[in-house]
Structure 1
Amino acid sequence: MSLNEMPSGERPHIVFFGVRNAGKSSLVNAVTGQALAVVSPVAGTTTDPVRKAMELAPAGPVLVVDTPGIDDEGDVGQLRVQRALRALDEADVAVLVADAARGLTPFDAQLLQAFRERAVPHVLAWNKTDVAEAPDGTGRVDSVAPSDGASLAEGARADGDVCHACGEVVLGPDAAAAARPAEAARLAPASASGERLACDGPSAPAVGARSAAGRGLLAAPCQEVRVSALTGEGVHQLKELLAAMVARAGEGGLGADGPSVGAKVAPRPLVADLLTPGDVVVLVIPLDSAAPKGRLILPQQQVMRDVLEAGAFPCAAGVEGLPALLDMLPRPPRLVVTDSQAFGAVAAAVPADALLTSFSILMARYKGDLPAQLTAVRALEALSDGSIVLIAEGCTHHRQCNDIGTVKLPEWIRQISGANPQFAFTSGREFPDDLTPYAAVVHCGGCMLNRQEMQSRLRRAAAQGVPATNYGMVIARANGILPRALAPLGIAAP
């Protein structure tokens, strides 16, 4: 799989935000070098997020997202705003595009606050500098934005600095008594009423309601740059800055206590860490009516590639051909990975001492929080006839008569619970803000979502006290093989 073919779910997402007519779409076109987004002097031209895969040297493949104006009005405008806010869930790096002549608006300040609450690395791009100077103080943030991703406070000079983007004074260890709140107030942009705005001021209900729970108020890396989408001034500098921020975001880890910005972590393997060179891995790939014609589905491709990266030998068979393949192998396979729907038949065909798991469970470990999703499986046992279970898929596809999400999973869940709960369904990027009506969420592996969006969904469920688990673990539990399906990952089932 080449860089150009990298799936969108594996690309870091760079999302452009801002008010209407700040020049977001023009700047996105300048960054991508293409007329990706429609631009016009009419406010509200961008009505839905627009996505473009591109190569951003030296970071590599990324996905650039242009969003509607955060200040849109009217009933339809509010729907556009909701779509823009939803893009926060997938942002690995955010760009706030502000009109240099207009300065920061209350909506901009609310976005900056949301970036900080979610610990999203972000840059403030002062656009239209060909016709107006960026407000005084621009660029001074460089002295308080350390390149290693540390917090702003850790990178501040001893005599105190003002982050214009955040409107706050950042002090060094010897400057507590020499704070300059007056300067912070002078540099922070004013609202229409004359009130000075700051990143840590009151947050907008619409933005704050989507804040990532459990991630604490954290000073994410914050920088500013002057740009002109019209003349190209500063665009190269912005691209270099974004590439550096993408690389830095990829180094951040999520620990038990929340995010660790700048923490060095090893690349996340899908299956390679379970293998040694020379191992044989059997992939069970059903070719039933639900299988796409002429290709493998994305998790199958990704697992096969990761097996090869580990120096191991992948071989594949359908469910019917699995016994013959196992008989042909000179030695038992190190691991068998199956489509979760075939767990029952494959578990019966594979010797009991052979390690067995599924593509979905590997994806849950790769993009989600496997221990938390494992605990949530137990919640299905307590469902009642009045319970509602949300079944969520990250992709959209044509529903068939024996569809896994709408037909098979409900049957398996009824089997586990011994009850007749009700079911709700979502697909693609649609996912409820309010999960409290649901007794549980059962989510696919999320191969079409980036890890940031998958993590956002899981955190939202955890914050609202709703257990969220994974297709593969539910199916393994229904087939009575959950401990076996988790054994290759070194995890004991409850």
Structure 2
Amino acid sequence: MSLNSTPQSVRVHIGLFGKRNSGKSSIINAISNQEISIVSDVLGTTTDPVFRPMEILPIGPCVLIDTAGVDDFGELGKLRVDKSLDVLDKTDIALLVVDASLGLSEEDLSLISTFKSKSIPYILVLNKIDHLVNTSEVLSNTKKLTEAPVICVSTTKNIGLENLKQEIIKTTNCESTEFTLVSDLINPNDIVILVIPIDKAAPKGRLILPQQQVIRDILDSSCQVFITKEDKLKDTLNNINKKPALVITDSQAFEQVAKDTPSDIPLTSFSILFAKQKGDLSELIKGATYIDNLVDNDTILIAEGCTHHKQTDDIGTVKIPNMLRQRTNKKLNFEFASGVSFDKDLKKYALIVHCGACMMNRASMMSRIEIAKNQDIPIVNYGVLIAYIKGILDRSIAPVILPCTSKV
């Protein structure tokens, strides 16, 4: 997979925030060594968030997010500010860009407060220091107002940019935790079997992103991976001469795969692995158990992190609603949302059922879970829900909570 084709969901998201004309776009251009953002002295040049993929070694693939100034005004300006603040829900590391000649403003201090409340690590970037007479005094005064690292730069004079890159690298290494998919559950030379149904929803000629990412993680762990369809699992198990350390299945084949996988072989699903990597698994399990409390006329939100062509038996719009109706025997209402937007007012919903979030980064998914938790709305993802309904939740989460049998 090339750098440009690396999914945004596995990139470190670095958001640049600040007032208009503080120099956010200039810093993106300077960090990337490319003229990828429009730079102008005109206030409000950047209107919508702009996502710029690049690589910062040794971090690896990143995405720099250029945002509109948080001091914009008027009806249209407020919409721009709201869009900029929405980016915080996707941000792993924030750069607060401040015009050094103006110092920290109320808007900047408000952003710092938001970073702290969302536990987003941030770096304060004092830009345009070439305009200052006494840099040390401004730097000293700024440090009194923040606990974050403060880096002085000038994009026009090429000052401090390498220091900024190094601070980004340091902050990433210090603040971020690597949330793996499967490598923490297996040992080198283990065998892992993936069960991948090929139905109408399967894209012709390729595997979907969650399957690709799990395969790569297994290979990086120096393990062997066998791929089979659900109706060939028994044959696959009989044809290998070593007991598998783990079987991973598509959630839609959970029931059959559970029957065909011996009880002494750990079993889980792609969706549960993503719940472990990108979400709060305990909260999602709690959400699954809530379905037995649903009553007539409850409204359920089915949310997905991307948009895709819907099949006639689509899992989100057809299969899961049918499963919930059959399980509860209630008259339930369903609403559907997909893509980057997520309603922050969820009070009308009794339950949120979310996709596996393969196209979202961890920060985005955790933000959605937190929004639901803060409003006391239970939330569950597809895989956890299906495992619960099929009566195999305990078995399917055991490998991600306890060590695999190969580790014992």
TM-score (norm 2): 0.91
Work out whether 1:225 is the aligned partner of 2:136: no
Q: Secondary structure at the match of 1:311?
A: coil
Amino acid in structure 2 at the alignment position of 1:103: G
**Corresponding residue for residue 87 of structure 1:** 87
Aligned counterparts of 1:385 and 1:45: Cα–Cα separation in 2: 50
**Corresponding residue for residue 365 of structure 2:** 454
| The one of 163, 171, 185 aligned to 1:237 | 163
Amino acid in structure 1 at the alignment position of 2:399: P
Aligned counterparts of 2:57 and 2:329: Cα–Cα separation in 1: 54
Amino acid in structure 2 at the alignment position of 1:340: S
Could you give the per-residue CA deviations for residues 266-293 of structure 1, whole angstroms, max 9, x where no partner exists? x433222222333221101122221223
CA contact (8 A) 1:368 1:455 kept: yes
CA contact (8 A) 1:124 1:165 kept: no
Aligned counterparts of 2:37 and 2:325: Cα–Cα separation in 1: 46
Aligned counterparts of 1:137 and 1:386: Cα–Cα separation in 2: 63
Q: Secondary structure at the match of 1:480?
A: coil
Cα deviation, residue 135, structure 1: 7.0
Aligned counterparts of 1:233 and 1:302: Cα–Cα separation in 2: 39
Amino acid in structure 2 at the alignment position of 1:13: H
Matches within 5 A, 1:17-416: 17-133=17-133, 137-140=137-140, 164=142, 167=145, 222-251=148-177, 267-416=178-327
CA contact (8 A) 1:68 1:80 kept: yes
TM-score (norm 1): 0.76
Q: Unaligned regions of 5+ residues in structure 2, if any?
A: 403-408
**Corresponding residue for residue 385 of structure 2:** 474
**Corresponding residue for residue 406 of structure 2:** none
CA contact (8 A) 2:191 2:226 kept: yes
- Amino-acid identity (%): 45
Between 303-312 and 405-414, the greater mean CA deviation after superposition: 303-312
Cα deviation, residue 338, structure 1: 0.7
Q: Secondary structure at the match of 2:359?
A: coil
Aligned length: 402
Amino acid in structure 1 at the alignment position of 2:36: L
Closer/same/farther in 2, CA of residues 70 and 439 from structure 1, 3 Å limit: same
Closer/same/farther in 2, CA of residues 440 and 130 from structure 1, 3 Å limit: same
Aligned counterparts of 2:294 and 2:361: Cα–Cα separation in 1: 30
Closer/same/farther in 2, CA of residues 135 and 335 from structure 1, 3 Å limit: same
Cα deviation, residue 471, structure 1: 0.8
Greater fraction of residues in helix: 2
Could you give the per-residue CA deviations for residues 221-245 of structure 1, whole angstroms, max 9, x where no partner exists? 5022222222322222211211111
Cα deviation, residue 377, structure 1: 0.8
Cα deviation, residue 351, structure 1: 3.2
Q: What value does the CA root-mean-square deviation take over the aligned residues? A: 2.2
Could you give the per-residue CA deviations for residues 373-393 of structure 1, whole angstroms, max 9, x where no partner exists? 111111111112221212221
Q: Secondary structure at the match of 1:437?
A: coil
Amino acid in structure 1 at the alignment position of 2:378: P
